[in-house]
């Protein structure tokens, strides 16, 4: 990954490593990689991290495009030195259980890459796109972007009933269910929670929705949709389980828009909606 920056007047004669770290959000590990690979130049001339750079100089940083580890996960759809985008299968838990039993994305990811540093998480029953940071530094940077226009997540869900109006905003606070660590409910004294939805199609008294999260509460989409009388098909906690969705439900993290923490490029990813979602309109 080649990154370039024209040193400004207020950066005049600052050390190259400091300019690069601030401009490109580089971690200490990234700087060590640059040091070991002689990956920095000033106007095309190799430089050291400690060299002071005058204004008007073109500073270039060349980081490896990927971080080789043991093996790639079969559902890694993008990776570079900052982040990885994962297309998590529905039914696979994101985090390992406290007992260490059962399979999880955390266990598989750790085996493949080392440390697991998720930026966002998905319920076990939800499949689709999520982001993992390559370092703790980038986890902090990307997590700061959550719930802003720099990091947008959109989901597809199939719900029970004919949703009306076709497009809308669900603005209902969410709180814990007393006596439960996991369950949530609509609660006027809970945390403010906002979800936007758009109808994609409807048939056979079911509706497919495209949803955008503005906040990120536990089970937010599931609780919001159940709260307006349209639980997600197969949602065994807030609706009714379906034999065709064992241990899962019709919610998929389908679209992801994010700003790259180093280059500033706008990235877009799409995960196809599982075919079994469409089959719900025939049952």
Chain segment 140-169, per-residue pLDDT in tens: 999 999 989 999 999 999 999 999 999 999
CA 120 to chain centre: 4
% of the chain with per-residue pLDDT over 70: 94
Nearest to 254 by CA among 157, 146, 133: 157
Residue 35 clears pLDDT 70, i.e. is over it = yes
Paired strand residues for 61: 3, 40
Q: How confident is the model at residue 70 (pLDDT cuts 50, 70, 90)?
A: very low
Q: Would you call 112 exposed, middle or buried from its count of C-beta atoms within 10 A (0-12, 13-18, 19+)?
A: middle
How many other C-beta atoms are found inside a 10 Å radius of the C-beta of residue 4?
12
Local confidence band at 9 (pLDDT 50, 70, 90 cut-offs): very high
Q: How far apart are CA 171 and CA 19, in angstroms?
A: 43
Tokens of 225: 């949709």
Q: Model-level pTM?
A: 0.76
Residue with tokens 């495209």: 210
DSSP symbol at 265: -
Dist CA 191 CA 187 (whole Å):
8
Range from 100-109, 120-129, 134-143, 166-175 carrying the lowest mean pLDDT? 100-109
Q: At 69, is the pLDDT very low, low, confident or very high (cuts 50, 70, 90)?
A: very low
Q: Active-site residues: which are they?
A: 123
SS3 255: strand
Domains of the chain, each with CATH number or no CATH = 2-62 (3.10.290.10), 76-282 (3.30.2350.10)
Report d(CA 164, CA 92) in Å as an integer. 33
- For the chain, the average pLDDT equals 90
Q: For residue 176, give every residue at least 6 positions away whose Cβ sits within 8 Å of its Cβ, in sequence order, or none.
A: 183, 184, 185, 187, 190
């Amino acid at each position: 990954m080649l990154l370039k920056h024209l040193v400004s007047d207020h950066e005049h004669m600052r050390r190259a490593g400091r300019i690069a770290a601030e401009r490109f959000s580089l971690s200490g590990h990234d700087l060590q990689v640059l040091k070991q690979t002689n990956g920095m130049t000033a106007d095309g001339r190799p430089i050291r991290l400690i060299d002071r750079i005058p204004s008007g100089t073109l500073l270039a940083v060349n980081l490896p495009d990927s971080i080789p580890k043991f093996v790639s996960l079969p559902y890694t759809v993008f990776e570079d030195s900052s982040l990885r985008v994962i297309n998590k299968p529905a039914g696979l838990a994101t985090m390992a259980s406290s007992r260490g039993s059962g399979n999880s994305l955390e266990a598989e990811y750790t085996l493949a890459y080392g440390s697991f540093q998720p930026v966002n998480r998905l319920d076990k029953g939800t499949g689709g796109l999520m982001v993992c940071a390559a370092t703790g530094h980038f986890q902090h940077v990307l997590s700061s972007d959550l719930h802003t226009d720099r990091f947008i997540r959109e989901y597809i869900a199939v719900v029970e009933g004919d949703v009306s109006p076709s497009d809308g905003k669900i603005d209902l606070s969410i709180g814990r269910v007393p006596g439960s660590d996991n369950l949530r409910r609509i609660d006027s004294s809970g945390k403010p929670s906002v979800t936007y939805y758009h109808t994609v199609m409807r048939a056979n008294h079911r509706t497919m929705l495209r949803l955008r999260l503005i906040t990120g509460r536990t089970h937010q989409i599931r609780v919001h949709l159940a709260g307006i009388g349209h639980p997600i098909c197969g949602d065994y906690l807030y609706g009714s389980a379906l034999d065709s969705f064992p241990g899962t439900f019709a919610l998929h993290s389908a679209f992801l828009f994010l700003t790259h923490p180093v280059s500033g490029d706008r990235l877009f990813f799409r995960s196809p909606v599982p075919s079994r979602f469409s089959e719900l309109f025939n049952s």
